[in-house]
A and B are shown apart, each in its own frame.
Chain A
Amino acid sequence: AQKVTQAQTEISVVEKEDVTLDCVYETRDTTYYLFWYKQPPSGELVFLIRRNSFDEQNEISGRYSWNFQKSTSSFNFTITASQVVDSAVYFCALSEASGNTPLVFGKGTRLSVIA
């Protein structure tokens, strides 16, 4: 069965610090997809990234970067030089390619960036 674990329930950092949000997943499939979403205080989940299991290249988008390591079943998310606007709940999610299984979400990590 597929499972996503976000061990960090809440993180607080001071503005301009770097912060890494951990995501560990479990799956028996060799083909799967990993996602990160951001949920700001307004409530809407905003899609950040989708990765397939065959693409292990790390990705950088501005201050955001993602480190995908199949060897440790992890898909960690780093925010560089954090800003107050980064304060949100961040969700990692997994979907297996076999069958029509929807996304399985982790329980989320609440990030607070303090000015």
Chain B
Amino acid sequence: DVKVTQSSRYLVKRTGEKVFLECVQDMDHENMFWYRQDPGLGLRLIYFSYDVKMKEKGDIPEGYSVSREKKERFSLILESASTNQTSMYLCASSSGSLGGQETQYFGPGTRLLVL
């Protein structure tokens, strides 16, 4: 079974703090993704990566950065957290045989509250 884990289920941070959200997958997948989910807006893609040290901007990259130093780990960084970044963050991974078209498998999500 594919296993995608995220470092925290719930996180509370203060405005201006630097926040790291970690995601690890154990299936040797090439592709990894970060989404945020907000009521009424569905899932929106923040960043994705098709290989180690590679990153691509998604639909809403502003205010975020990412790091992929190892194949199994994809980190989302909020350089200076703001209240409008309060959200549910979901990480996903997929195998790379068809680029972005393979099934994505999701982690349990991190609910981030920025005060």
Query: Complex: how many Å from CA A12 to CA B26?
Result: 37
Stretch binding the partner chain, chosen from B13-21, B77-85, B93-101: B93-101
**Candidate in A50, A91, A95 with the most chain B CB atoms within 10 angstroms:** A95
Any A CB within 8 A of the CB of B88: yes
Asked if A102 contacts B108 (CB within 8 A), the reply is no
In the complex, which residue of chain A has the Cβ closest to the Cβ of B98? A97
**Which A residues from 42 to 81 make CB contacts under 8 A with B?**
42-47, 50
- Neighbouring A residues of B104 by C-beta, 8 Å: 47, 102-103
Residues of B contacting A35 with CB < 8 Å?
Answer: 103
Q: A45-B90, A47-B106 are in contact. List 6 more A-B contacts (CB 8 A).
A: A43-B88, A45-B92, A47-B104, A47-B105, A102-B58, A107-B42
CA distance A12 to B29 in the complex (A): 37
Cβ of B15 to closest chain A Cβ, rounded Å: 24
